[in-house]
Each structure stands twice: as C-alpha cells, then as structure tokens.
C-alpha cells in the first residue's frame, strides 16, 4: 500500500494518467492525495473530475481556489473567463453531478497515523491544528449544504487577512478560504499578504513565505503538504514542508511524492 501525494492537476488529465502509470497506482491498495485545483487552465477538466470521482475512497483531496472559482462560475456569481478553459465541463451532461460531488470535498486533510496535513495553499502561521480544522469544517459544512451560494457570494475579500478569535462568521470563513486556498506570503506577525506572487528571491521585505514563519503545526511534527504555488518549483522549503505544484498547466511538470520512501516522480506537460 502506498500513499501517493500529487500536486495541482489543473485539467491535465493525460499527464495525470501517465504519472499514475509510472508509480503503478492501484486504487484497491493505494491512496491518492491531491492538493486541489483539479480544474482550470489545462485542457481536460471534465475528464479529471470524472476520473477522480470514480476512484471513491482511494482519494483524499482538498479543494483549491480554482475549484471554488468553478463553483462560483457554475452558479453565475463570476463570469466564465476563457482563460479558465472550462467550457467543456460546463456543458457536460453530468456537470450537475460533478459540481455537487466537488462541493462536498474537504478543505483540509489530516492523517494522525502518518502525521500528514494537506491543504491547497498551506496552514496560516496564526493557527494551530485545532483552529485550522475548525475553520475547514465550517467551510465544508456550508459548501455541502443547500445554502452554499451564500459562501460563494461572500468569499472574495482580500481584506480578510488577519486572524482573530473575534471575527464574525463570514469574516472567519473569508479568512479561512484566503489562508487555505490563496496564501503565499505573510507579514512577520502572520497577517496574510494577498497581493504578492513573486518568487521568494524577488519578494520585498518584510514579506516572507508563510512556511518561513514559525508554525504550530510543525511544532507537533506534522508534515504540511501543499500546492498552489507553481513558481516555487525548485525552491528549497524547510523540513516537513512539501510543495507539490510544479506548473504542469503552464508547460511544467505534474509532480507526485511517494510517501513511504519520499521519492518524487514527474510527468512533463504533453
């Protein structure tokens, strides 16, 4: 049995299947962990969703910002910009089934046996693992409910960038979505910067990558697995931090980490 952790797929279905052949993925024995952003940018988002859904309990995934954005487009809250490359998905005969499956997926995965924590973008330095779980559960509860449009209507707010136990319900949800699906840089106090997307070498002070700040999750010796940040490819991360997005949809690679021996496998963009 293998734990196979894979970075952002972004509709790169052929690369996904080729990469899984490399590692002889067996859904009857292995578990495939996915850092989110199944859809968007790449050419085959609908095939990716159908395939991942078909794997059932062999998959442990989290939602990314592109997955949430798809939900907003589907509900007419956001325009369908051609750059997202999801027209094929939106007109698919099973789109309703796929959307309802997608919105019931987790925001956070924690495995206490293997000491793994996975989110799309990372874990806020202002959180401990209990707060992260609480916030993820709140998002999951409303996304999987009949009121999920309330969240989609209110989730776009870059000003929700500083954690407090006194945040209102919607502000708490917005901060959690920003931290779990958009975060890259933080100020020294852990407040999120929602603007900078440069590589760390080009980032002005005082901003630091979120994983460069002290993190209570790491204090408990959990590894943090994340995607979202394709330009990090090749950038060294601290111990117990694993960045798996290597920009397949941008012409880079799709990357997989086999957990038991920490071996990486890559599939270049076709």
Q: Grade residue 90 by pLDDT with cuts at 50, 70 and 90.
A: very high
**Contact of 35 with 245, CB cutoff 8 Å:** yes
Using CA atoms, how far apart are residues 257 and 241, in angstroms rounded to an integer? 12
Average pLDDT over residues 17-38: 98
Dist. CA 228–CA 209, nearest whole Å: 13
Range of the domain at 215: 3-268
The model's pLDDT over 28-63, given as tens digits with 9 standing for 90+, comes to 999 999 999 999 999 999 999 999 999 999 999 999
Q: What is the pLDDT of residues 92-113, one digit of tens each?
A: 999 999 999 999 999 999 999 9
Q: Quick one: average pLDDT of 142-150?
A: 95
Of 89-93, 155-159, 175-179, 262-266, the poorest mean pLDDT is in: 155-159
Better-scored residue on pLDDT, 44 or 220: 44
Least confidently predicted of 73-77, 205-209, 216-220: 216-220
**pLDDT confidence of residue 236:** 86
Region 65-73: mean pLDDT is 98
Total domains in the fold of the chain: 1
User: Is pLDDT above 80 for 186?
Assistant: yes
Strands (E), 70-193: 109-111, 116-118, 185-186, 192-193
pLDDT band at 233 (very low <50, low <70, confident <90, very high): confident
Question: Are the beta carbons of 148 and 234 closer than 8 angstroms?
Answer: no
Q: What is the mean pLDDT of residues 188-217?
A: 93
Q: Tell me, what's the pLDDT at 201? A: 86
Which whole number is the average pLDDT over 241-269?
A: 97
Please state the rounded mean pLDDT for residues 125-145: 97
> What is the length of the chain?
270
Asked if pLDDT for residue 68 goes beyond 90, the answer is yes
- Domain CATH number, residue 117: 3.60.21.10
Average pLDDT, integer, range 130-154? 96
Confidence of residue 198 (pLDDT cuts 50, 70, 90): confident
The answer, yes or no, to whether residue 21 has pLDDT greater than 80, is yes
User: CA 170, CA 185: separation in Å to the nearest integer?
Assistant: 22
What rounded mean pLDDT belongs to the chain?
A: 96
pLDDT at 89 (0 to 100):
97
82-89: average pLDDT: 95
* Cα–Cα separations (whole angstroms), residue 201 to 41, 195, 204, 236, 267: 26, 16, 9, 11, 26
Q: Using DSSP, state whether 120 is helix, strand or coil.
A: coil
């Amino acid at each position: 049995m293998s734990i196979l952790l894979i970075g952002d797929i972004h509709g790169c279905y052929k690369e996904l299947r080729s990469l899984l052949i490399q590692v002889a993925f067996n859904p009857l024995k292995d578990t495939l962990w996915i850092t989110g952003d199944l859809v968007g940018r790449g050419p085959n988002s609908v095939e990716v969703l159908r395939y991942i859904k078909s794997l059932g309990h062999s998959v442990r995934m989290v939602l990314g910002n592109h997955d949430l954005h798809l939900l907003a487009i589907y509900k007419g809250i956001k325009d369908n910009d051609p750059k997202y490359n999801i027209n094929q998905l939106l007109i698919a005969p099973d789109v309703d089934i796929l959307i309802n499956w997608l919105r019931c997926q987790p925001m956070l995965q924690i495995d206490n046996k293997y000491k793994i924590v996975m989110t799309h973008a990372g874990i806020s330095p202002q959180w401990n693992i209990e707060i992260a779980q609480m916030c993820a559960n709140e998002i999951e509860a409303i996304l999987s409910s009949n009121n999920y449009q309330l969240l989609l209507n209110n989730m776009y707010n870059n000003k929700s960038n500083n954690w407090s136990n006194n945040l209102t319900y919607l502000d708490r949800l917005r901060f959690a979505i920003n931290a779990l699906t958009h975060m890259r840089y933080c100020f020294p106090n852990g407040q999120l910067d929602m603007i900078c997307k440069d590589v760390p070498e080009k980032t002005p002070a005082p901003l630091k990558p979120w994983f460069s700040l002290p993190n209570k999750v790491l204090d408990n010796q959990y590894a943090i697995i994340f995607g979202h940040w394709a330009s990090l490819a090749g950038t060294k991360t601290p111990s117990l931090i694993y960045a798996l997005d290597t920009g397949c949809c941008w012409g880079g690679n799709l990357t997989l980490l086999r957990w038991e021996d920490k071996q990486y496998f890559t599939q270049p963009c076709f």
